[in-house]
Amino acid sequence: MRIRRRHHAKEAAELNITAFMNLMVILVPFLLVTAVFSRMTVIELNLPEKDAQTQKEEKVKLELELVVRQGSFDVQDRRIGLIKRFERSEEETDWNAFSELLVEIKSRFPEEQNITLLLERDIEYQTLVQVMDRVRSADVVNVATLDTVELFPNIAIGDAQALSAADVGATK
């Protein structure tokens, strides 16, 4: 007895990818629309050198400091002391008077490029960036034009000393 084998031609199984394609058609535009395209801005800082304090200068130079506190901006010279204090709050800061003072200082010391920002611990990052922008340049009105003047582009950052009880009483 002979067994006959039937040879059936097997058909290739067809893949049904329509569900996957539907998913991709919806998912790709959704991901593109919801993607966050951010731009990173880098601010260059020139930190003071270690030997900068040991170098002796023949000419008396301005060592401008800006102490940023929760309730005030203190513009001061490291050697002389306080030049002017600007009272401020979270909602309101007199940026015009602040810029005018910096422009006046720059006009008296045109060669000066450096400023040191001393910050209290709880100062917000946004405040720091605003102060750095105002310290670098200012808009000055000349006759009928608005000119941008470079003030103090070389910025160093440090921690401000905490106010003592006597200093807190003197500021109020």
DSSP string, 107-121: HHSTT--EEEEEE-T
* CA–CA distance, 22 with 26 (Å, rounded to integer): 6
Which backbone phi and psi does 62 adopt, to 5 degrees?
-75, 130
Whether pLDDT at 161 is above 60? yes
Query: What is the value of pTM for the model shown?
Result: 0.58
Helix (H) or strand (E) holding 65: strand 64-68
Q: In what order do the strands lie in the sheet with 64-68?
A: 81-87, 72-77, 64-68, 114-119, 154-159
The domain spans of the chain are 63-171
Range in 39-43, 96-100, 165-169 with the lowest mean pLDDT: 165-169
Segment 105-134 mean pLDDT: 88
Q: Which fold has domain 63-171?
A: Nucleotidyltransferase; domain 5 (3.30.420)
Angle CA 60–65–69, to nearest 5: 160
Contact 94, 129 (CB under 8 A): no
